[in-house]
Amino acid sequence: MNNPKVALMTFGDARDHEWNNLFRGLTEPRHKQIIEYFNKLPIELHALEEVARTKDQIDAQVDALKTAGIAAFIVHLPCWTAPNLVLCGVQRMGLPTILVSNRHPGTHGTVGLLGAGGALDQIGYPHLRVREGFDTPALGEKVLPFTRAASAVAQLRGQVFGMFGGRSLGIDTGTIDTMQWRRQFGVDVEHIDQLEIIRRAELIEDEPTGKMVAWLEEKMGSVDYDGSKLTPEKLGFQSRCYLATRQIIEELGLDFVAIKCMPDLANHYVPQCISAALLPGPYDSQGHKKPVPMACETDGDGALTMQILGLVSGGQPTLFGDLSYLDDENLTIYIPNCGAMCSWFAGRSSNLEENLSKIQLRPSFRPGGGATAYFKAAPGPVTLARLSRREGKYVMTIFTGDAIEPSPEAYEEFVKARGSHQLPTMFVRANLNFDELIAEFGSNHISGTAGLYVEELVHVCHLLDIQPIVLAN
């Protein structure tokens, strides 16, 4: 997990008489306590030993803390302090801010909290207010989602998205306005012709290709060669495409990507299913690696949703698929993808062998042949989301559920309905109003990650001027 970098400052009353006779004894012990409290949580805390009381002290502490590459600012107000000085510190820091005070009746902390919060409201500075003690996990439970969101937004700015190819299969919701991304998210878009993958694949040497094919044959649950659609040569070329894509990602410094694939590559070369299975995960034939979210069919907003999910979760693998079928009777959503899904979800294990052993490389029915990475996603909680636009403004639809193992009867009905066209699928039980989901959801594609991150995503939305739409009964 990548822990958020967080700065903490405790503000004290600047009046010497009040400080020495009352507030010092209430403020300094709580300054030490809050540092001890947050040092036990999954954040990288940066704080100085002294309480900041004067304008000069506030400026000096802010300037010292900013050098650590901070993503969020915790303003600790254990007692009364002048709101104008708090605003000086907040504006000088210029980061997403949390005001924290306590519930003790003798500290005047609520007065300090509301004085500073009201002043921030007057200048339109968004912030979170928390009033909790150090004897409860509630303080961390309220603060941590905001710090994760702030860290995600900070990391997103300056990142580069690799767009391989153009619109796929007429899917308008996969298209993006690149300069809107620049303005709203701080993300650069690098356009790359997807035939660059093919050109480079043909230059990949035999040794790394053979190593990767052998690794797939050894680690996957099965490789179902059929002598026609799926052959060692076809799998080898898919492996070359994956290695070529990794080269491009490394050379161009791409943080997340989307590849058109269909119909061009899937029909005339090979589908990019090995890339879709491995790029968003933490491993490949070369060992451990950083996950790189990849959306299929050049879905930019789908890829950006994956990246945000990965960032708020501390770098976890992410999934991409179709919101394909709603089983109203069992409140289950079927989320397949066109030929692959991040392989980590096959077992949800830190052990790659455990994940890959559950995957079958089946012959793709696409004209180009090659492999489809087939599996049923392992059970566990999941957060699902999707960025989409309404008249040019972004919204994010968010909900949670549990990936489940369908009953044999339900799965048999699924196979019967789908016929021989079997794809990797996550079956998600979600306690939602499906009519509301149909009315609100802005794409045929959906993104997700393991765990529960609704609060984090809502905070991200508020920080990025996105309207959050949280679905739940």
Specify the fold of 5-156.
Rossmann fold (3.40.50)
pLDDT for the residue numbered 299: 97
Q: Decide: 443 and 397 in contact? Cβ < 8 Å.
A: no
What is the distance between the alpha carbons of residues 244 and 238, in angstroms, rounded to a whole number? 10
- Could you report the per-residue pLDDT of 68-100, keeping only the tens digit for each? 999 999 999 999 999 999 999 999 999 999 999
Please give the residue that has the higher pLDDT: either 306 or 330. 306
Specify the CATH superfamily of domain 160-470.
L-fucose/L-arabinose isomerase, C-terminal (3.20.14.10)
**If you search the block for the tokens 């949390």, which residue do you land on?**
98
pLDDT for the residue numbered 258: 98
pLDDT, mean of residues 17-38: 96
Sketch the domain layout of the chain as residue ranges. Answer: 5-156, 160-470
User: 49-69 burial, b for 16+ CB within 10 Å, e for fewer?
Assistant: eebbbeeebbeebbeebbeee
**1: pLDDT strictly greater than 80:** no
**412: pLDDT strictly greater than 90:** no
What is the distance between the alpha carbons of residues 115 and 24, in angstroms, rounded to a whole number? 19
| Confidence tier at 459 by pLDDT (50, 70, 90) | very high
pLDDT for the residue numbered 473: 66
**199: pLDDT strictly greater than 80:** yes
pLDDT for the residue numbered 421: 67
- Could you report the per-residue pLDDT of 159-194, keeping only the tens digit for each? 999 999 999 998 999 999 999 999 999 999 999 999
Q: Decide: 77 and 86 in contact? Cβ < 8 Å.
A: yes
Length in residues, the chain = 473
**472: pLDDT strictly greater than 90:** no
pLDDT, mean of residues 402-413: 89
For the chain, what is the mean pLDDT? 95
Three-state secondary structure readout of the chain: CCCCEEEEEEECCCCHHHHHHHHHHHHHHHHHHHHHHHHCCCCEEEECCCCECCHHHHHHHHHHHHCCCCCEEEEECCCCCCHHHHHHHHHHHCCCEEEEECCCCCCCHHHHHHHHHHHHHHCCCCEEEEECCCCCCHHHHHHHHHHHHHHHHHHHCCCEEEEECCCCCCCHHHCCCHHHHHHHHCCEEEEECCHHHHHHHCCCCHHHHHHHHHHHHHHCCEECCCCCCCCHHHHHHHHHHHHHHHHHHHHHCCCEEEECCCCHHHHHCCCCHHHHHHCCCCEECCEECCCCCEEECCCHHHHHHHHHHHHHCCCCCEEEEECCEEECCCCEEEEECCCCCCHHHHCCCCCHHHHHCCCEEEECCCCCCCEEEECECCCEEEEEEEEEEECCEEEEEEEEEEECCCCHHHHHHHHHHHCCCCCCEEEEECCCCHHHHHHHCCCCEEEEEECCCHHHHHHHHHHCCCEEEECCC
- Could you report the per-residue pLDDT of 290-322, keeping only the tens digit for each? 999 999 999 999 999 999 999 999 999 999 999
- Could you report the per-residue pLDDT of 359-394, keeping only the tens digit for each? 999 999 899 999 999 999 999 999 999 999 999 999
* pTM, rounded to two decimals: 0.94
**If you search the block for the tokens 């179902």, which residue do you land on?**
224
